[in-house]
Structure 1
Amino acid sequence: MNEKSAPLIVLYNRIPKTGSTTFTNAIAYDIGKVNNFWTVHLNMTKNRFMMNRIDQGIFINNITKWNERLPAFYHGHFAFMDFTKFGHQNPVYVNMIREPLERLLSHYYFLRYGDDYRVGLKRKRAGNNETFDDCVIKGNRDCDFSNLWVQIPYFCGSYSFCAKPGNKYALEMAKRNYLAHYLVVGTTEKMDKLIRILDKLLPAFFNGAYANYQSLPSNKKHLRNTLRKSKPSDETMAIVKANIIYQMEREFYDFVDSEFDFLWKKVIENSEFKLNQFHYEKIK
């Protein structure tokens, strides 16, 4: 990475059960050494994803001044934070989200059966074979609809209202931060397209990422698949879709997915955009 204008920090505040392990390996660990950038995992204490204001300041100050580890790609389960509040330029943010119910189902069965990545590890709900359908009927906590409230808070940030399930301002803040601060956000369902766009938009970091992903064997393209995931019944689906929390998370998902499709058409599909659509003139 020799370009003087190249970004020094890319942040991926990855959301659990969205395919983030596969994505991180494909665009960072696999090609970081080739493209000369560091890849660093940020591990949050006790699986919390919101940093308090003091920790945000310390983290931001550390990574922006850790010159021996620049340029760098940081990833971890943490909510969006605005570097400009602490007097620093924002990094390049990227992310990937998943259809909300599919994400919750993956998490629900992951707690019971684990995944194909660490097969021998005993999970929190090991031995509890209750299906998601039965959980919804009984009203148990693992399928409480507040558990759907995940992707909006990750984009909203660390304000108190961000963590409140169903908060309308949190949804608006999530949309605002997405539009203002993220280079691109794709979906789990279109991961290959997201990698291709990143390869195109930010070659200083991701040049060759798409070719690398395409060359991977199938078992490497889908790491950490949740085991024994059962499809919910039509009755359960109807109950979930009638819930306001699901509707808000789905609204955010659809909003991001629509913008991603628009970006894909402009950057990749439309041949008229393959050459620069600007030029310089009247230079005096």
Structure 2
Amino acid sequence: MAWGPLLPRLRGVGALALLLVLAVLLMAYTAHQQVRQPSRRGGDQVFDARHVAEHQTRHVLFFNRVPKCGSEMLVLLLQWLQARNGFRHMRLKNTVKRYLTFDQQAALVEEIGERVQESTEPRVSFDRHVYFTNFTSYGFKMPIYLNLVRDPVEKMASRFYYARATPRPGAATPPGYTSPAPPHYTSLEECLRYQDPECTFLTGHHYDLTIPYFCGHEDFCRELNNEAALSLAKRRVEAWYPVVGVLEKVNATLAVLQHHLPHYFAGVLDLYHNDLLGK
């Protein structure tokens, strides 16, 4: 199945510095704990340049947003840039579900494919909080993937306080979804001191942390300190993400985006400083 006149081209493999930063962040998060031997090692294939060139299109950008890493800022910039750079940005339905079954992944891919076909612009970008999805498993070319990461401790603190301060009335919930119980503690320090489950992370347990957004929907991708999950996430970043930004280095991130993805991000630095920051 194709998305119109898609011409696969080998995109640049730049932004190596940011890719290395991602690897360091992911490894640093697990370095202080014992890494257990994984029970599954799915997805060990190597993605070479020819494979990427044949299976990725430059006409579709997918920002599968890691939560609490500055993604709303980047979405706003994409919305501002779409008219001047000749593409269309579409926000996929907001949902609490980031881990998808095989059929749910198929529905996501088909929705994106349909929207691409309906668009009158030559390029389209999308965003949603969702784990890495392999489009080729459903007969589609891979989009250009994009994401942002941040210091894991800062990310955890941001998520902790966001859950207490911000209601989510627009979030779609799947059938049978049960809302979590109200939080016991109002401060992160208390939560950590009393080892509340919300602030306790155990090796081998499943969590919605950073790695699944690059690893995928396989069960082992959500296991804390799973070596196979980290390995697969790094390989998928190297293959499918020309840029992974770092929130703490937003200026460098935007400069790399502007250079390596100019069809989408040309002029983003000026827009960020002059319009968003008002400087």
Q: TM-score, normalised by structure 2?
A: 0.67
Give structure 2 stretches of 5+ with no counterpart: 1-5, 10-56, 168-179
Per the alignment, residue 22 of structure 1 pairs with 73
Please give the secondary structure, in 2, of the residue aligned with 1:93.
strand
Give structure 1 stretches of 5+ with no counterpart: 116-123, 222-284
Bigger shift: residues 77-86 or 58-67:
58-67
C-alpha change, 1:29 and 1:102, in structure 2 (3 Å) is same
Per the alignment, residue 208 of structure 1 pairs with 267
| Deviation, structure 1 residue 141 | 2.1
| Deviation, structure 1 residue 113 | 3.1
Q: Equivalents in 1 of 2:244, 2:130: separation in Å?
A: 16
Aligned pair partner of 1:76 in 114, 128, 131: 128
Per the alignment, residue 103 of structure 2 pairs with 54
Per the alignment, residue 88 of structure 2 pairs with 38
Per the alignment, residue 191 of structure 1 pairs with 250
Would you tell me which structure has more helix in proportion to its own residues?
1
| Deviation, structure 1 residue 129 | 5.7
Q: Equivalents in 1 of 2:207, 2:72: separation in Å?
A: 20
Which amino acid in 1 is paired with 2:108? F
Per the alignment, residue 26 of structure 2 pairs with none
Q: Equivalents in 1 of 2:239, 2:58: separation in Å?
A: 17
8 A contact 1:112–1:129 mirrored in 2: no
Q: Equivalents in 1 of 2:94, 2:235: separation in Å?
A: 25
1:104 aligns with 2:156: yes
Q: Deviation per CA, 1:112-132, whole angstroms, max 9, x where unpaired?
A: 2349xxxxxxxx898966321
| Deviation, structure 1 residue 54 | 1.5
Q: Equivalents in 2 of 1:41, 1:188: separation in Å?
A: 21
Which amino acid in 2 is paired with 1:15? V
Relative contact order higher in (CA < 8 Å, ≥ 6 apart): 2
Please give the secondary structure, in 1, of the residue aligned with 2:186.
coil
C-alpha change, 1:130 and 1:193, in structure 2 (3 Å) is same
8 A contact 2:207–2:223 mirrored in 1: no
Aligned pair partner of 2:139 in 79, 87, 107: 87
Which amino acid in 2 is paired with 1:62? E
Q: Equivalents in 1 of 2:229, 2:152: separation in Å?
A: 16
Per the alignment, residue 175 of structure 1 pairs with 234
Q: Equivalents in 2 of 1:192, 1:40: separation in Å?
A: 24
Q: Percent identity?
A: 28
Q: Which has more radius of gyration?
A: 1
Map 1:194-273; keep pairs closer than 5 Å. Answer: 194-218=253-277
Aligned pair partner of 1:8 in 59, 73, 82: 59
| Deviation, structure 1 residue 87 | 2.3
Segments of 4+ moved more than 4 angstroms: 3-6, 124-129, 146-149
Q: Deviation per CA, 1:74-121, whole angstroms, max 9, x where unpaired?
A: 101001111122222211111110111110011111222349xxxxxx
8 A contact 1:13–1:80 mirrored in 2: yes
Q: Equivalents in 2 of 1:208, 1:125: separation in Å?
A: 44
| Deviation, structure 1 residue 197 | 1.1
8 A contact 2:61–2:126 mirrored in 1: yes
Bigger shift: residues 33-42 or 71-80:
33-42
Per the alignment, residue 234 of structure 1 pairs with none
Q: Equivalents in 2 of 1:126, 1:216: separation in Å?
A: 38
Q: Equivalents in 1 of 2:247, 2:190: separation in Å?
A: 27
Per the alignment, residue 232 of structure 1 pairs with none
8 A contact 1:198–1:206 mirrored in 2: yes
Supply the RMSD in Å over aligned alpha carbons: 3.0
Aligned pair partner of 1:135 in 172, 180, 191: 191
Per the alignment, residue 25 of structure 2 pairs with none
8 A contact 1:152–1:171 mirrored in 2: yes
